[in-house]
Chains A and B, each alone.
Chain A
Amino acid sequence: MGKPEFLSRPSHPRWGEFVIESTIRVLAFSSIGFVILIFFFLVREGIPIFWEISPENLFGTRWYPTFGLFGTLPLILGSLLVTVTAILIALPLGVATAVFVREVAPNWAREILKPMIEILAGIPSVVLGFFGMTVVAPLVREVLGAPTGLTAFTGALILAYMALPTIISVAEDALDAVPKSYRDAGLAMGATQWQTIWRVVVPAARSGIVTAVMLGLGRAIGETMAVMMVTGNAARMPLTLDSLFRPVRTMTATIAAEMGEVAQGSVHYHALFGIGIILFVITFIINAMAAVTIFKKPRRGGLR
C-alpha cells in the first residue's frame, strides 16, 4: 500500500483515537481466536476416540457404528475419490473458461459469462444436491444402465461445477497478473495469439493456476449437502475400478447424516468429531499451501 510514512504514526495521540484503534485491533484479531476455538472444540469433543478404540479399528476398512466398527478408511478414500474426480473434471473446464474470458472472448460474451459464473457461485449447495437427485442421478443411471444413479461420479460431477467459480476466478486473476509485455513479446516473435496464450501466458500464470486448483480442492473436499444427497452414502472401500460408478460415502456426508442420531459423549459421537478433526487438518494444510503462493510476491520483471 502506497501510504505516506507519516500517516503510519498517530498524529494526535488522543483517547478516542486510542479506544477506537484498540477496538478495531481486537475485532480483527478475533479471527485468529476463532480458528483456535474451532480447533480446540473439535479436539475437545473428538480426541477421546483415539484411545477409546484401537488404531486398527479407527483406520480399518469397515464403518459400522452399530457394531462398534469405526474404520474411517472407506470414508477418507470416498472423499478422495469424489474430490479428485471432481477436480479432474473442473480443472480443464475452469482453465479453458478463464483463458476464454480473459484472453479471447469478445466483450459481449464476457458480459454474459461472468454473471453466469457468479450465479453458479451463489446457488446453495442443497439446491444443487436436489437438482442432482432429481435430474442428474436418473440421467446417470440410464446412461450407465446401473441399478442406481446415486454414485461417486454423480457427486464428482456436481462438485466439479461447485468448484468451477473458485477455479475460474482465481485462474482469471492469475492470467490478469501476467504483464502485457509478455504477450507483446510473444506476438512480436511471430507467434499467433493461440501460441502465445499456451506457451507464454499460461505458463507464466502457472503458480496462480496451482493456487486455483488448491482452493477448488479445499472447497470440494469440504462440500457436504450436495455430496450427501447424490453419492448414495454406502460406506464401502472404493478399491475396484468400477467404484466411481457405485455409491460411495464421504467424510462430510458421514458427519452430517449421523450426528443427529448419536448420544452426546458416546464413542460414535467422538468418532464423528474425530472425522471433523481429520477434515479440519486436511483443509488447513491445503489452504495454508494455497496461502503460501498467494503471499509470495510475483518476482517477474518487465513493464506492466
Chain B
Amino acid sequence: MINRYQVQRLGFILLGVISLIVVLPILFVVGNIVVQGIGAINWEFLTAMPHGGMKEGGIFPAIVGTLLLVLGTAVVAIPVGIGGAIYLAEYARDTFWTRTLRLAIINLAGVPSVVYGLFGLGLFVLFLQFGTSVLAGSLTLAIMTLPVIISTAEEALRAVPGEFRLVSASLGGTRWQGIRHIVLPQALPGIITGIILGLLRAAGETAPILFTAAAFYLPRIPRSLLEPTMALPYHLYVISTQVPGMPPRVQYGTALVLLTIVLSMNAVAAIIRSYFRRRREW
C-alpha cells in the first residue's frame, strides 16, 4: 500500500509525462519539416517562378501572393479591429446591443474557415463581381481576422489602469483626447501583438482563399487587385495532393518557407509582448 504522498508524487510525474506527450510531437513536426526542407531552400527556390509542372524552379509568386493577401487583410482588418476594440473597452456600456456585439464577435471567431470561403465566394466573388482575386481573398481573410484583433486589442486597452483616463480628464482632456494620447500609446504593444497574431492566422489559412483568391498555377505576380494569385498554403496543398510525382524536396521546402514566415511572426509578437511587459511603468 502506498501512502498519499507517494500517490501525489506519481500523479505529478504522470502529469509531466502527459505534458511531454503534448509537446514532443510539436517539436517533431517542426524538426521534421526543417530537416527535410532545408535542403530545398536556396536563392532560386525563393526568387524564381515555378516551371516544369511546378516540379522545378521556385515558389516566388506564392510567397509574394501570401504577402499581398496579408497586406490587403491588414489594411482592412486593422482599422476596423482597433475601432471595435476601442468601442468595447472605452465606450461600451453593458447594454443589450453591447452583449449582441460580443456574441457576434465570439461567433465570428468560431465560423469555420471553409464557411468564410463560401461567404467570400457568395458576396465578394459573385455578388460584388470582384472575381477570384486578391481583393476578394483579402476581404474574406480580413473578416476572419477581425475577432482575433478585436479581442486581443480590447484586452490590451483594458489593462491600462483607470487612473490614466482620470488624470487626462482632470487636465481638461476630452474622452477621445484621453484615449488618443494616453490610453492608446500605453496599450500599443498589446495591440500590435494582437494584430500580428491575427495576420499570421491569415497568412496560414487555405480554406478561405480556396474559392476567393487562389490560383492553381500562375507563374507571375498579379498585376492588379482584381487578379487571382498563388499563395503559399494553397500551393502546399496543391503540390502535396493534386500533382502526382511531386518531389518531396519541393513539398518540404514550401512547407518550411510557410512555417518560417508564420513562426517568425509569432516570435516577433512574443518578443514585443515580453519586452514591453518588462518596460511598463504600471
Contact = CB atoms under 8 A, between A and B. Distances in A.
Contacts of B143: 34, 38
B75 interface: no
A279 B115 contact: yes
Given A2-B162, A3-B165, A225-B207, A134 B248 contact: yes
Contacts of A148: none
B118 A122 contact: no
Interface stretch (A63-71, A124-132, A239-247): A124-132
Given A8-B93, A135-B32, A161-B25, A124 B119 contact: no
A266 interface: no
B263 interface: yes
Contact of B112 (A25, A30, A223, A291): A223
Contacts of A29: 87, 97, 101
B251 A122 contact: no
B200 interface: yes
A122 B21 contact: no
Contacts of A135: 32
Nearest to B177: A17
Contacts of A291: 102-103, 106-107
Given A34-B143, A135-B32, A260 B122 contact: no
B69 to A, nearest CB: 13
A101 B176 CA distance: 40
A292 to B, nearest CB: 9
Nearest to B259: A127
Contacts of B158: 1
Contacts, number: 291
Contacts of B150: 31
B19 A101 contact: yes
Interface in A195-252: 195, 215, 218-219, 221-225, 229, 252
Contacts of A99: 15
Interface stretch (A48-56, A109-117, A174-182): A109-117
Given A286-B110, A294-B106, A7 B119 contact: no
Interface residues of B, number: 96
A80 interface: no
Given A222-B111, A295-B99, A126 B15 contact: no
B127 interface: yes
A122 B267 CA distance: 10
Interface string A260-288: 10001000000011001001100110111
Contacts of A125: 113, 204-207
B119 A37 contact: yes
Interface string A87-109: 00000111011011100110001
A97 B18 CA distance: 7
Contact of B83 (A17, A27, A38, A105): A27
A10 interface: yes
Contacts of B16: 100, 104-105, 109
A168 B100 CA distance: 27
B104 A32 contact: yes
Nearest to B180: A20
Interface in A1-33: 1-4, 6-8, 10-12, 14, 16-17, 20-21, 23-32
Interface of A: 1-4, 6-8, 10-12, 14, 16-17, 20-21, 23-32, 34-35, 37-38, 41-42, 44-45, 92-94, 96-97, 99-101, 104-105, 109, 112-113, 115-120, 122-131, 133-135, 161, 164, 168, 192-195, 215, 218-219, 221-225, 229, 252, 255-256, 259-260, 264, 272-273, 276, 279-280, 283-284, 286-288, 290-291, 294-295
10 contacts: A6-B169, A21-B176, A23-B83, A27-B87, A93-B22, A100-B12, A126-B237, A127-B236, A260-B211, A283-B112
Interface of B: 4-5, 7-8, 11-12, 14-16, 18-19, 21-23, 25-27, 29-30, 32-33, 79-80, 82-84, 86-89, 91-93, 97, 99-119, 121-123, 126-127, 143, 146-147, 150, 158, 162, 165-166, 169, 174-176, 200, 203-207, 210-211, 233-234, 236-237, 240-241, 248, 251, 255, 258-259, 262-263, 265-266, 270
Given A93-B21, A116-B23, 10 more contacts: A10-B174, A24-B87, A28-B87, A38-B116, A101-B19, A120-B26, A131-B32, A133-B241, A192-B7, A224-B114
